[in-house]
Structures are given as structure tokens and as C-alpha cells.
Amino acid sequence: MHKKALLVTSLLLGLSGAQAQKVTLNFTAHWLSEQRRPTINKIIGLWNQRNPNVQVQYTGVPFDQLITKTLAGVAAGNAPDVVVIDIRTSTQRAARNQNTDMSQFGADKLGGSYFPQLWATGRYNGKQYALPFVTDTRVLFYNKAAFKEAGLDPNKPPKTWDDLWAYAAKLDKKDGDRWTRMGFHPNFGDFGYQGWVNNAGGYLFDKNNENPTMTSAAAVQTLAWFKKWNDKYGANSVAAFKASFGGGTQDEFMSGKVPMVVRNGNYLSTLTRSAPDLQFGMVSVPTMDGKTSDTTTWGGGFNIEIPRGSKHPKEAFAFAKFLSTEGAKIWAAEQNDLPAYKAAQTANKNPQFIKLVSFLPITYLSPAPLYAPSYDTAVNKAVDDVLLRGRDPQAALEEAQAAVAKMVDENKKDAK
């Protein structure tokens, strides 16, 4: 058994038995909870058992500190050998020479094994700087009991933006002048303005993810659509209604206040645990014309990177590859997170998991812009100006466009 494990390590790393030397890899991620820790320990244990010459040591770092600590380690020359890190910002780190090009170790040959939009998040200047690990997706949750009460067929959920408007009109409830139920609002849930722009076929940045395109027809039309909903319910009423949402079973959906909402698919776990008797459906996010595309919904997630300066990059890549393939199967089976590795999607037989996986082909992952990491400040201001202060959508987005374009120009100059 020991000899066999040594052979596995040697073949994996391209070393002969005489060349193989014992290496310890430092691996960092944000998994600290009692729910997550046993699974990552299981994956690492399997690797260490198979590869006695390349042992992995795990350090958990709080999520909100992970990027900062990793980049501080890169600057100081003591970063971990492997890190699981935010999927949207891998190309930013590649552009700043903060992570390692994996193409030199054969990463380019692996692309077909992963969902393409996830693989693309680690691609920069034609080279692969990250392996995708897990993602998520957003879906429309709807309350079947509320549908029946309103005379809607719970087996015929909305498919278009017009459907959302028509269904909401039947689901709305008022007590005098006070709204007690709002059928839908695109700014409730966690889909966000940018998600709806993508859903409409638009983007806030150009195809190179460098220059802003915030005054595109789709962007303006989407913000006007947001305003239409706000005008329907009243800006002050929407703000007050949203402020009434609580935590747990008092959130907008479980409380019955909003019978249609777009949320992360992992909300399923919350519903199962906190509202086991709630009758609900889960479907693809409605689109303008009822047709799905590769930007119908969006997701986030995590990539696996080798921070710049690793003393054992070849061994680190071998572990990163293992984690993103065999490890992904274990993770999907035990943690219910959606895998980037296609073969891992069959590791979990739960029907709800399988349904969420079916949405991955229409799930868009928007990389953080290379030269405008804080662009969302300007975008959020534009949305607030329209919804809270009644500003014209075109004018609000023109201001956002100018602010972000200035940010891009300044950061490009600093990068030279």
C-alpha cells in the first residue's frame, strides 16, 4: 500500500522515485464551521493517505479576511501554497501578478471537464490562473398556497417579465392604504440590478471587462423597469415594507409578505429547516421574452489558486487539480454546493440539488472589472437616485458611467 501511494504521488507530479522528496503544502480556505470542516478534512485526509510525499496542512481563515491575508502573504513572501478564494476576482489577481499561471503545469488540457463559464473565471491573457471549485445560482421561489388563494395555477409559474407584473397584481394585498403583501419587486431578494441587466441580455462592462457600458439600452430599460415597480407600490411604501422584513421565518418569503422572490438556490436549505410545511416552487428566473440564455441568472463561488511565491508550485497544482475534481465530488455529495467539475454533479442524488445543477448552463458569472473594483458604488447610487429620489434612469446611469469611466482611466494610469 505504501509503495502504491508513493507511485501515485510520483506519477501525479512527474517525478521518479529517486527524485521524490517529502513536501508540505500549506492550504488555506474559509471553512471553519462544524458543518464544513469535516468534509474538507476528509478530502485532505484522502489526499494525504494517497500521497505520503506531499502532505497538505489546512488553515481556516475567516471569509472576510481571506483575500486580505492572502495578498499580504504574497507581498511578504509567505503566502499559502494553495487557497480557495473568491471566483469573481481571480483575473484581478492574475493581472497584478498575485497568483500563479497554471498553464505551465498542464491546466489548459483540463478546460473541457468544467462548466465553461466557470472555467473562464480563471482565464487571463490566454492562460489559466485558477481552477473553479464551487458555484451557486439564483432562482425564482414562489409560494404555491398564495398562488391558489389568488386564483393562479401553482403549476404554471411566471416565465416573462410581463408575467411577473400580471401575477403580482393578483397576489398583491392591501389593508386600507397599507400594503400587507407585495406580489413581487425586482429589488427584493438577492438578484440585484446587475443581475436583471444580465437577464435582459445586457452588461455593465464591455467584453474585455474593462470599460463601462452603463448606458446601454438593456441597462436603461432595466432601471426603468425597476422604477415601474416602485411607482406601482409607492417609493415610501416599498422602503417601509422592505424595512419590515425580519430574519429567519420573518424574512420576506417565509413570512408570506412577498410570494415571489429571486434568491440564491442555497435558500432551499433554509426553507427545509425553517419552514418544512411551506408549499413552494422553484423555477428559472423569468426573462423579458420567456426564453433562457447563458445570462438568465447569475452565480458566485470559489476558485482554487496558487498564490505567487509558492515554493512548491508543481505539487500545489497537483493538489489543486485533485481538490477541484475528486474533492469536488465529495464536497458536492456532503455540502450540496454546486460543483464546477461536470462529473461531480452526479455525486449528489438529492432531487433539489439535481434541479439546481440543471440551471448551471444558464448561470452567468460576472468577473470583477479589472480597473473598477468599486464600480458598484456608482451603480448603487444610480439605482437609489431613481427609486428613492425619482431621478430619470438615463440621467442617473449617465452619471454612473462618467464616474466609473473616470475610475477606469485613473486605475489604468496607475497600472502602467
pLDDT tens profile 72-117? 999 999 999 999 999 999 999 999 999 999 999 999 999 999 999 9
- Per-residue confidence (pLDDT) for residue 12, from 0 to 100: 54
- pLDDT exceeds 50 at position 349: yes
C-alpha cell at 154: 401553482
pTM for the model:
0.90
Q: Residue 215: is its pLDDT beyond 50?
A: yes
The three-state secondary structure class of 178 is strand
Whether pLDDT at 31 is above 90: yes
> Which of residues 21 and 164 earns the better pLDDT score?
164
Reference 193, options 399, 393, 357, 395; nearest CA is 393
Average pLDDT (310-338) is: 96
pLDDT band at 414 (very low <50, low <70, confident <90, very high): confident
Identify whether the C-beta of residue 137 lies closer than 8 Å to the C-beta of residue 292. no
- Average pLDDT for 367-387: 95
Distance CA 113, CA 80 (A): 26
Give the C-alpha separation, 44 to 82, whole Å: 12
pLDDT mean over 229-239? 96
CB crowding 337-367: b at 16 or more within 10 Å, else e: bbbbbbebbebbeeeebeebbebbebbbbbb
- For cell 439564483, name the residue: 138
Distance from C-alpha of 404 to C-alpha of 406, rounded to nearest angstrom: 5
CA distance 377 to 373: 10
Residue 231 CA to residue 94 CA, distance in Å, equals: 44
Indicate whether 56 pLDDT > 90.
yes
Summary mean pLDDT of the chain: 94
How would DSSP label each residue in 234-300? Answer: -HHHHHHHHHT--SGGGSTTTTTS-SEEEEETTHHHHHHHH-TT--EEEEPPPBSSS---TTSEE--
Contact 325, 332 (CB under 8 A): no
> Given this model, what pLDDT does residue 8 score?
45
pLDDT at 213 (0 to 100): 97
Identify the bridge partners of residue 287 per DSSP, sorted by sequence position: 160
Query: Span 23-41, mean pLDDT?
Result: 96
pLDDT (average), residues 247-270: 95
At 50 the pLDDT is 98
Distance CA(354)–CA(113), nearest Å, equals: 18
Strands 363-364 and 297-298: parallel
Report how far apart, in Å, the C-alpha atoms of 312 and of each of 25, 139, 317, 319 are.
7, 41, 9, 11
User: What tens digit of pLDDT does each residue of 157-212 get?
Assistant: 999 999 999 999 999 999 999 999 999 999 999 999 999 999 999 999 999 899 99
Please give the pLDDT value at position 416. 67
Q: What is the pLDDT of residue 51?
A: 97
Q: For residues 326 and 343, is the Cβ–Cβ distance under 8 A?
A: no
Query: C-alpha cell of 223?
Result: 432601471
Q: Which three cell numbers stand for residue 132?
A: 473553479
Residues 180, 241: Cα–Cα separation, whole Å:
8
Please report which confidence band the pLDDT of residue 413 belongs to, taking 50, 70 and 90 as the band edges.
Answer: confident
Q: Is the pLDDT of residue 9 over 80?
A: no
Across 297-301, average pLDDT: 97
